[in-house]
Amino acid sequence: MLPVCLRSEVEYGVGPNPDKRDAVIRAATYRRPEYDNAGISFSPSTLEAVRSSLRLQFPPVQQQRGSSFSMLESLPLELLCDVFTSLDIEAILNLRQVSHRLREAVGAVPAYEFATEHGLDAVLALFWSGLGPHFTLHDVNNALRTEYCAVPRCGRFGHFVFLPTLNRVCFECLGHERQFSLLLLSKADIAESHSSEKSEPVHVMHTLPGFYSERKRKYHKQRHHIVAELDSVKPRDPGRGHYGWPCSNRYLAAIALPFLECSGSQVRSHHTVFCKGCVFARDNKLGPTGRARWLHGRTKTLPLLVNRMYDHRTYFEHFKWCRQAQILWDSGKEIDSLSS
């Protein structure tokens, strides 16, 4: 609840127009890199280098007659696309290296195009962490199109995707829920029954070096083989203490991904955001009338508001009463009209 000194007198409705809602989000909110990069993250230069290599047309590799791929290559492009749609990520990325023909066929697979355009970091994270053989491009695309945390009754926006299962998860559940706990492979007991069709598949991943966590960011250099603690995976010798990893290490198996809202050919991406209006009020010690007020002394809720995370739905509940955010949006509109 907003304190009275920050609250607008009347409710400010934005309406359902998605373009207008996107414009409000751009004008009145911001993202925090430390939250976006709390899990596995790649530098923009790494992503750009990979993106250009995916676009690059290498000279064709000379195939020997009768090679194991020659029959595959002779299939019509449409048929190749159908076949490749069901392949795992590692297989499809490796196939691109075989020949021009197969590279062309892979590039024409809609799921490949969508995943590399909107979720390249997730594709790379799966490939480089050894999870590539366990997931398809469709799995990645489904995760990108999933909005909410997978924990029943949570209902929060899923900021992360948990790589060992590709489930969406919010900040809170990643830190607390048992289904996202991890074990070192060397300290885990994997039940024989895990390979049966009924049980959840157990995937081993190896961690990637980098900085993790949104607070107290720590560099993890060593690569570990880890598994998610599922029903069929238990700590070995639990009587001798806890062999699981600390909860803060769960970031090593998570990646922040936008939620993609798809309507026809239009794709809108939604992220976790913070309110610029509340930051403005804190930094300028301003109330809704613009008169200086020492808000820090008057309300303890402002620091909480500044650090509150929103998604593209919950933000509008806040925006309709956050006077400073409304002022930012209105002043942005004036600048737009002056420049046009």
Name the one range near Zn ion by CB under 5 A: 91-99, 128-136, 186-194, 277-285.
Answer: 277-285
Which amino acid, 49?
A
Shortest gap between Cβ of 33 and Zn ion (angstroms)?
20
Q: Which is nearer to Zn ion, 149 or 286 (CB)?
A: 149
Q: Which of 13, 53, 35, 120 is nearest to 307 (CA)?
A: 35
Per-residue binding string, Zn ion, 152-191, x by CB under 5 A, is --x-x-------------x--x------------------
Interface with Zn ion (CB under 5 A), residue total 11
Q: Which of 38, 252, 256, 325 binds Zn ion (CB under 5 A)?
A: 325
Return left, alpha or beta for 237; rule: phi > 0 is left, psi -120 to 50 is alpha, else beta: left
Q: Which is nearer to Zn ion, 8 or 142 (CB)?
A: 8
Q: Which is nearer to Zn ion, 134 or 312 (CB)?
A: 312
Q: 225-236 in b/e burial notation, b at 16+ Cβ within 10 A? A: ebbbbbebbbbe
Secondary structure class of 259 (helix, strand, coil): strand
Residue 254 within binding range of Zn ion, rule CB under 5 A: no
Those residues whose C-beta lies under 8 Å from the C-beta of residue 310, and which sit 6 or more positions away, are: 29, 272, 273, 274, 275, 318
Q: Which is nearer to Zn ion, 126 or 170 (CB)?
A: 170
Per-residue binding string, Zn ion, 134-153, x by CB under 5 A, is ---------------x-x--
Torsion sign (Cα): 274, 276, 280, 281: negative
Instruction: Scan residues 295-324 and list those touching Zn ion (CB under 5 A).
Output: 322
Contact footprint for Zn ion (CB under 5 A)? 149, 151, 154, 156, 170, 173, 275, 277-278, 322, 325
